[in-house]
Amino acid sequence: MKIGIAQINSIIGDFPGNAKRILAAYRECLEAGAEIVITPELSLAGYPPRDLVFKSQFVPKCLQALDYLAGESREVPLLVGYVARHHPTRPGKPFRNAVAWLERGTILHRVWKTLLPTYDVFDERRYFEPGESCNPIIWNGKRIGLTICEDIWTDDYLQRPFYDRDPVDELSAKGIDLLFNLSASPFHLGKPAQRRVMIGGIARRIHVPVVYCNAVGANDQLVFDGHSLVTGSNGNISAQFPGFRESCRVADPFLTVDNDVVLDACEPAHLYQALVLGLRDYARKCGFTSVCLGLSGGIDSALTAVIAAAALGAENVRGLTMPGPYSSRGSVEDSCALAHNLGIRCDEVSIGESFAALKATLRPLFHGLPEDVTEENMQARIRGLLLMALSNKENHLLLTTGNKSELAVGYCTIYGDMCGGLAVISDLPKSRVYEVARWVNREREIIPWNTINKPPSAELRPDQKDQDTLPPYDILDGILELYVEHHLSPDEIISRGFEEATVLWVQRRVDLNEWKRHQAAPGLRVTSKAFGIGRRMPIVQRFSG
């Protein structure tokens, strides 16, 4: 049996465009001999549609596009993810997360998603009613189990008792020859390998092949990596799709192999590819063709510029280096060297006169008070004003360049270096920034080695270094991972060997700066717990522990 797998990049709410993508993929698979074609979860609507589903015309236009697809896909069955209405006279949520089986010009079967995730970045119970039963679909003598994303994320594998049902077991008990899963599974570091283990385990458990079609592309903060795959009944992976790009291929799930097809699991490469895809889609889907950013000569802005050039082309990246009274000439030279290596434009605009004028304006108000962090932040805010002006004047998307370590503890200036429309590396801890930067330079120098090797500094006061204020980044990142991603208490983190004073300082800084993160630009999620839609902490609270 030849299954066409259409790993496509949908745009939320773009029903005509998504239908066109689906049909193009359908015809490509037909030419390759496909007997059935499957697409990702909510491929027609885009994932996640969130509160758009409540708009009066969203679901009607989705259903209209579905009818159009049914009329245009008559050759072989096409499986399409869409938003369906729940029965209006029954209690429950108004919609379903659904798959339509299109065949011979009509909707032959409709299947509802059974397990609706409501954790981390997911909030599906806000919108959807779960399916009541799981039944195989009989086609060409085969009994096919049809599942949607979370339906296969079982408790046995994840050891999390979120659900009292297992759709895979329900289908297996009724007898199936093949299992399909239409998915929109967002990326975080290690997720592609995790899926392989899980899906291979399911195939071995129920002794049938599994065809897994995952979305690719980025919507807001979420990046979908693709990496669709096919396993034989022995659990070995016989087909592995590429990551971070669209791909349409035909695979035979009944073909068994003795060893898994290899996954390229280089972590710095996955992080880089995810960020490039995330930036490209955020800009493109929001209507931007170019970006601008501040180049400080530091590693964070350098890596952001590299990602931007890869995502949009060097000709569409505008850099601005803005030396101040405490900037070293080396930082400006490093910024210019980076721009030269990338082929991007970089202009130099000093903030010295603006800073002096602003201090003079404020002198009567600050009379008798020593200079402190106020004057440091003023420099960052002057730079933010210049970058916002450039963004406004030339219609660039302004990129912020702060990393996760800084954002976690508030080592960033609100209305200063936090100005912008997208925080590209805000989910990348500083230690990972260095790792990805070195990977970027694996073949030749792109980021100047001086930028990578010199001690990081905001250069807002004489001889300033980050480590004057922050713990060493390897220690800071270790504590942050335990506190933010694993939700451990300070005592539990201290028991892991970290110094008590440092742990308590980090905890307090993370908690105190929640207000600042609420005003930050959206950031691209690449770890298991980003500051964004998957982390909902109150600003006003007094819990400590």
Are 317 and 188 in the same domain?
no
Sheet holding 422-423, edge to edge: 345-348, 317-321, 291-294, 397-400, 422-423
The one catalytic residue among 62, 134, 149, 412: 149
Q: Tell me which long-range contacts 358-361 makes (C-beta under 8 A, separation of at least 24).
A: 358/382
Nearest to 26 by CA among 3, 6, 2: 6
Q: Which amino acid is at 175?
A: G
Q: Judge whether 41 counts as a catalytic residue.
A: yes
Look at residue 185 in the predicted model and tell me its pLDDT: 97
CA atoms of 270 and 226, how far apart (whole Å): 12
The one catalytic residue among 41, 103, 150, 376: 41
**Distance (Å) of CA 22 to CA 30, 63, 224, 250, 453:** 12, 15, 17, 15, 47
Q: Decide if 505 is inside a domain.
A: no
Are 125 and 224 in the same domain?
yes
Q: Considering its fold, how many domains does the chain have in total?
A: 2
Q: Decide if 477 is inside a domain.
A: no
**Distance (Å) of CA 23 to CA 14, 39, 139, 180, 225:** 14, 10, 22, 20, 21
CA atoms of 325 and 462, how far apart (whole Å): 9
| CB-count burial class (<10 Å; 0-12, 13-18, 19+) for 207 | exposed
Are 140 and 230 in the same domain?
yes
Are 320 and 364 in the same domain?
yes
Q: Decide if 59 is inside a domain.
A: yes
Are 259 and 275 in the same domain?
no
The one catalytic residue among 62, 113, 129, 376: 113
Look at residue 469 in the predicted model and tell me its pLDDT: 79
| Full residue range of the structural domain in which residue 229 is found | 3-265
Q: The pTM is what?
A: 0.95
Are 36 and 179 in the same domain?
yes
Are 249 and 376 in the same domain?
no
Look at residue 328 in the predicted model and tell me its pLDDT: 84
Tell me the CATH number at 25. Answer: 3.60.110.10
Tell me the CATH number at 346. Answer: 3.40.50.620
Q: Judge whether 132 counts as a catalytic residue.
A: no
Q: Decide if 25 is inside a domain.
A: yes
DSSP state of 166: -
SS3 content of the chain, % helix, strand, coil (to 5): 40, 20, 45
Are 314 and 445 in the same domain?
yes
The pLDDT tens digits along the chain (545 residues) read 999 999 999 999 999 999 999 999 999 999 999 999 999 999 999 999 999 999 999 999 999 999 999 999 999 999 999 999 987 777 889 999 999 999 999 999 999 999 999 989 999 999 999 999 999 999 999 999 999 999 999 766 566 667 889 999 999 999 999 999 999 999 999 999 999 999 999 999 999 999 999 999 999 999 999 999 999 999 999 999 999 999 999 999 999 898 888 888 799 999 999 999 999 999 999 999 999 999 999 999 999 999 999 999 999 999 999 999 888 888 899 999 999 999 999 999 999 999 999 999 999 999 999 999 999 999 999 999 999 999 999 999 999 999 999 999 999 999 999 999 999 999 999 999 999 999 999 999 999 999 999 887 766 777 777 777 789 999 999 999 999 999 999 999 999 999 999 999 999 999 999 999 999 999 999 999 999 888 888 898 888 87
CA atoms of 281 and 249, how far apart (whole Å): 23
Are 276 and 188 in the same domain?
no
